[in-house]
């Protein structure tokens, strides 16, 4: 018998797979396909941590499982390598972004190969490769030709320190996510993509996808389709020195117009400066300047304290001619609706809080609720509403909208939260736009045959300081001539955002070496759509939305055959890292949790909480201990981060336990979609399980070896060639059924649990059939492929287990012959009986009477009723 040595086994089989291109795949018309895709990584300098490994392991299990089930499986990998982090590193170090990117990719690729993932590496892509971004530029030109790409001056998140525009998601508390630099809102000239023209299709087509409800709902919320009315409020000329102007608002509740007691403009609204009274200009300007430092996400946060300033101007409510004050508040966004709202504090909680804070009138116009305490948003009859009194909300909406249209004061309309996509960045490290601006004022697209427009090789990547990209300083690249007219021109100096390369990469995997077209039509028709797409929840909205938008445009021009790119999307849960804490008193005394909890409230207020990284913990009797004092540390589970020191490098786990143990442990932690804590001791448990399988099947041949370490492994003598029968046959088929069903459903933890139970069963047998062992090893192979390959070889197979067929099962052999059933008397369980699964009621009742323990409760009792649920429960109702 021998020890399981993963470090020797795993490198051997990884080399075998690479040398034999085991997972290389081509389209095979007539053979069913399965396209399983990972959200490809940004190759950061820190490499992978074990949280990344979870999703990649899940897709690899599916890929290997589907191959064994007879599918032609496409399972590719590549790199989302443009973006701000690489550019910032270049600025700090003077190293070209491509150099650091190449180093990072090499690290990531080494780690992925060390985990045994069955990628077709012949299809590897890199978004920074000119052969790739040639086609990103080509897709942009298709958008431009369709009128979906245009230039506009729009408010953006501008970071002076980084010298670029940031997406809302890259701004936290008014500062850049990377570096913590101040960010301001300012108007800038930007390229935009007209995604709003596809809003309805992006919304409607969600119904046809196999996506989790929460994921579809997030997309719907972001698109934010709402029906309502646009209403014109005339600015009161008496309050603005005779100004003749209207403020248009969008509202989903035109029925509440009589309850509008004030209006709010966003700080960016063009009328703010015009209508603000001279006495209030300084205060309004200061407020607008402060609002410019906040992201839209911060401003729209429902829980934040509402702030605003009065402009000194008034508007006239079109339904009752009442003059209402016009305020400026940052909770109103210029990017939604018209950038102005009518405020109905009696029936909108946000408006209620604002009106309460600033002592503005609150008028109820729908019966119900207690508006002294909070806004009422329910249904009811209209009150205090003139011609609408007595109507229901639905009736009032219809009537007031018709009146507004008839009076020329408004109209029914549909609005979307979705805004056109801001599609340019002031960076060097991104895809150049294939656009030139001629000196005669014309903007011209480059001919497709001139693609790719390559990034120039430069020595400096510092922001220009003017709001332009670093490319603007490279005169010999910027200055050009329009080839068709000979007119002098300047190239577009903004670059595309990182989203660009990730919007369509799944299509390039289909035909990555094609220089003549982005992909061959026959390959696209064979492989698309993606059958399973797995990645982190941070991409659940924008990446998926943008990719779906581009795909629909490509569908419209006839270069893809499916309306949607991703048939099924799954977000894996986060794996949390461990940190540890203790408490310290002012005099330096350290306390554990119990000691801290025992203090008075005043004493607890003075305690200092200290959090330490796993590397600083010492262990005693399986308890985490303070490095110097004998106290047990409190354990926390938090997002893995360098600052917390709780990042777990997969290289370290592989070195100690092997890749198979790491893969199996991450899948055994719990359901794929759940957030789960990492336990550094947990990997050892699955390592022991793999060692048990090894010992079950393998023993050493000592005949030629001088010592045990040199002995060759051979098949154990109790693995015999016979057909399994009886309990072994039933357990085998039950295991095949459950592992198959659970793997298909991505319930990997329960599939592993069933294999563990089967191994326990096999250990109880004197002799084990080869069929049971081979079936077990094939089922194990998607989860732990290296040990499965080694055992498969020891079993005498020359070909890779990756080519083996998944075992079938006979459903009749998975059913139990008998079932254990609870017997109740007056609802209380008095015992259990074992009966045939197909037993009728009379048989079950007789078995209950034959059980001594149950019979003593029934003796002398009159049975009034028998309640029988086949296979589950028997309940006797007796007379009292």
Q: What distance in Å separates the CA atoms of residue 557 and residue 524, rounded to the nearest whole number?
A: 14
The CA dihedral of 271, 273, 277, 281, to the nearest 10 degrees, is: 150
Nearest CA to 101 out of 115, 112, 111, 87 is that of 87
List beta partners, residue 610: 582
* φ and ψ of 153, to 5 deg: -95, 115
Angle subtended by helix axes 726-744 and 50-68, to nearest 10: 120
Nearest CA to 234 out of 216, 249, 224, 251 is that of 249
According to DSSP, the β-strands at 421-422 and 435-438 are unpaired
The CA dihedral of 31, 36, 40, 45, to the nearest 10 degrees, is: -110
Tokens coding 70: 């007879």
Using DSSP's 3-state secondary structure scheme, residue 80 falls into: coil
- Residue 563 labelled as part of a binding site: no
According to DSSP, the β-strands at 719-720 and 768-769 are parallel
Tokens coding 443: 């903007």
* φ and ψ of 781, to 5 deg: -60, -35
C-alpha distances (whole Å) from 754 to each of 281, 732, 801 are 72, 11, 21
Q: What distance in Å separates the CA atoms of residue 474 and residue 468, rounded to the nearest whole number?
A: 12
Q: What is the DSSP string of 187-232?
A: EEEEEEE-GGGGHHHHHHGGGGSB--HHHHHHHHHHH--EEEEEEE
Q: What distance in Å separates the CA atoms of residue 434 and residue 424, rounded to the nearest whole number?
A: 13
The number of CA neighbours under 13 Å toward the Cβ of 219 is 25
Using DSSP's 3-state secondary structure scheme, residue 117 falls into: coil
> Are 824 and 43 contacting, i.e. CB atoms less than 8 angstroms apart?
no
The number of CA neighbours under 13 Å toward the Cβ of 262 is 27
User: Residues near 634 by Cβ (< 8 Å), separated by ≥ 6?
Assistant: 580, 581, 582, 592, 593
Nearest CA to 91 out of 22, 159, 163, 186 is that of 163
> Are 74 and 35 contacting, i.e. CB atoms less than 8 angstroms apart?
yes
Q: What is the DSSP string of 379-405?
A: --BB-S-GGGTT-BHHHHHHHHHHHHH
Q: What is the 8-class DSSP label of residue 346?
A: T
The number of CA neighbours under 13 Å toward the Cβ of 494 is 19
Sole residue written with tokens 């026959």? 522
612 dihedral zone (left: phi>0; alpha: psi -120 to 50; beta):
beta
Q: What distance in Å separates the CA atoms of residue 706 and residue 48, rounded to the nearest whole number?
A: 41
Burial class (CB in 10 A: 0-12, 13-18, 19+), 413: middle
Cα torsion 656, 659, 664, 669: sign = positive
> Are 575 and 678 contacting, i.e. CB atoms less than 8 angstroms apart?
yes
Neighbours of 441 (CB within 10 A): 6
According to DSSP, the β-strands at 171-172 and 175-176 are antiparallel
> For the CA atoms of the chain, what is the radius of gyration?
34
Q: What is the 8-class DSSP label of residue 262?
A: E
Q: What distance in Å separates the CA atoms of residue 413 and residue 517, rounded to the nearest whole number?
A: 42
Q: Could you write out the three-class secondary structure of 616-655? A: HCEEECCEEECCCCCCECEEEEECCCCCCCCCCCHHHHHH
According to DSSP, the β-strands at 569-571 and 262-265 are unpaired
- Residues making up the annotated binding site for ATP are 642
């Amino acid at each position: 018998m021998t020890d399981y040595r993963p470090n020797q086994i795993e490198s051997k089989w990884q080399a075998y797979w690479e040398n034999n291109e085991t997972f290389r795949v081509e389209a095979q018309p007539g053979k069913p396909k399965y396209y399983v895709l990972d959200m490809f990584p940004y190759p950061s300098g820190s490499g992978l941590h074990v949280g990344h490994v979870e999703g990649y392991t899940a897709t690899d299990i599916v890929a290997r499982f589907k191959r064994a089930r007879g599918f032609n499986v496409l399972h590719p990998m590549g790199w989302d390598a443009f973006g701000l982090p690489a550019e910032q590193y270049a600025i700090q170090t003077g190293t070209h972004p491509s150099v650091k990117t190449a180093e990072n990719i090499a690290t990531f690729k080494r780690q992925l190969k060390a985990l045994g993932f069955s990628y077709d590496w012949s299809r590897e892509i890199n978004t920074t490769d000119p052969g790739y971004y040639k086609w990103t530029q080509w897709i942009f030109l298709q958008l431009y030709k369709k009128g979906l790409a245009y230039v506009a001056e729009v408010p953006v998140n501008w970071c002076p320190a980084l010298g670029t525009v940031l997406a809302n998601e890259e701004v936290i508390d008014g500062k850049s996510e990377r570096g913590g630099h101040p960010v301001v809102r300012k108007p800038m000239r930007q390229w935009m993509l007209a995604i709003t023209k596809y809003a309805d299709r992006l919304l409607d087509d969600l119904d046809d996808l196999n996506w989790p409800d929460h994921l579809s709902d997030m997309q719907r919320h972001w698109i934010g389709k709402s029906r309502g009315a646009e209403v014109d409020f005339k600015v009161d000329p008496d309050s603005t020195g005779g100004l003749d102007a209207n403020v248009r608002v969008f509202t989903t509740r035109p029925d509440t117009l009589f309850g509008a007691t004030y209006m709010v403009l966003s700080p960016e609204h063009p009328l703010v400066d015009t209508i603000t009274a001279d006495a209030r200009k300084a205060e309004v300007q200061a407020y607008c300047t402060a609002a410019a430092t906040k992201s839209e996400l911060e401003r729209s946060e429902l829980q934040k304290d509402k702030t605003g300033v009065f402009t000194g101007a008034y508007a006239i409510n079109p339904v009752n001619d009442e003059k209402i004050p016009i305020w400026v508040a940052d909770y109103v966004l210029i990017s939604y609706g018209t950038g102005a709202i009518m405020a109905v504090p009696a029936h909108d909680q946000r408006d209620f809080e604002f009106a309460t804070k600033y002592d503005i009138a609150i008028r109820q116009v729908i019966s119900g609720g207690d508006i002294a305490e909070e806004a009422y948003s329910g249904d009811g009859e209209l009150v205090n509403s003139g011609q609408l009194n007595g109507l229901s909300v639905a009736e009032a909406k219809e009537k007031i909208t018709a009146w507004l249209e008839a009076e020329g004061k408004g109209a029914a309309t549909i609005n979307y939260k979705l805004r056109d996509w801001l599609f340019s960045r002031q960076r060097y490290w991104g895809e150049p736009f294939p656009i030139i601006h001629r000196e005669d004022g014309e903007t011209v697209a480059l001919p497709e045959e001139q693609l790719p427009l390559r990034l120039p090789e430069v020595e400096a990547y510092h922001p220009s300081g003017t709001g332009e990209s670093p490319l603007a300083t490279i005169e010999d690249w910027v200055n050009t001539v329009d080839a068709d007219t000979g007119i002098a021109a300047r190239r577009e100096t903004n670059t595309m955002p990182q989203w660009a390369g990730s919007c369509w990469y799944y299509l390039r995997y289909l035909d990555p070496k094609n220089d003549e077209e982005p992909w061959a039509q026959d390959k696209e028709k064979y492989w698309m759509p993606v059958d399973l797409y797995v990645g982190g929840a941070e991409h659940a909205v924008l990446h998926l939305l943008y990719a779906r938008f581009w795909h629909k445009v490509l569908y419209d021009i006839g270069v893809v055959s499916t309306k949607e790119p991703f048939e099924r999307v799954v977000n894996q849960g986060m794996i949390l890292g461990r940190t540890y804490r203790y408490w310290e008193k002012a005099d330096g005394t350290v306390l554990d949790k119990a000691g801290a909890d025992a203090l008075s409230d005043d004493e607890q207020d003075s305690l200092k909480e200290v959090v330490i990284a796993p590397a600083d913990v010492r262990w005693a009797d399986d308890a985490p201990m303070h490095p110097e004092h004998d106290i047990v540390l409190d354990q926390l589970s938090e997002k893995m981060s360098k600052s917390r020191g709780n990042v777990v490098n997969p290289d370290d786990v592989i070195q100690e336990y092997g890749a198979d143990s790491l893969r199996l442990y991450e899948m055994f932690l719990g359901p794929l979609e759940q957030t789960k804590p990492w336990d550094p001791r947990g990997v050892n448990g699955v390592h022991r399980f793999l060692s048990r399988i090894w010992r079950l099947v393998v023993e050493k041949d000592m005949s030629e070896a001088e010592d045990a370490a040199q002995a060759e492994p051979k098949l154990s003598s109790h693995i015999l060639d016979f057909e399994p029968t009886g309990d072994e046959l039933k357990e085998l088929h039950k295991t095949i059924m459950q592992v198959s069903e659970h793997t298909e459903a991505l319930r990997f933890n329960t599939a592993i649990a069933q294999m563990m139970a089967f191994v326990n069963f096999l250990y109880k047998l004197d002799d084990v059939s080869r069929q049971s062992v081979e079936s077990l090893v094939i089922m194990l192979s998607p989860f732990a492929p290296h040990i499965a390959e080694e055992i498969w070889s020891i079993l005498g197979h020359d070909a890779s287990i990756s080519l083996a067929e998944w075992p079938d099962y006979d459903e009749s052999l998975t059913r139990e012959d008998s079932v254990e059933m609870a017997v109740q008397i007056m609802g209380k369980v008095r015992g259990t009986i074992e009966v045939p699964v197909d037993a009728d009621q009379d048989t079950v009742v007789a078995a209950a009477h034959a059980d001594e323990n149950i019979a003593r409760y029934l003796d002398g009792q009159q049975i009034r009723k028998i309640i029988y649920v086949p296979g589950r429960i028997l309940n006797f109702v007796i007379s009292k």
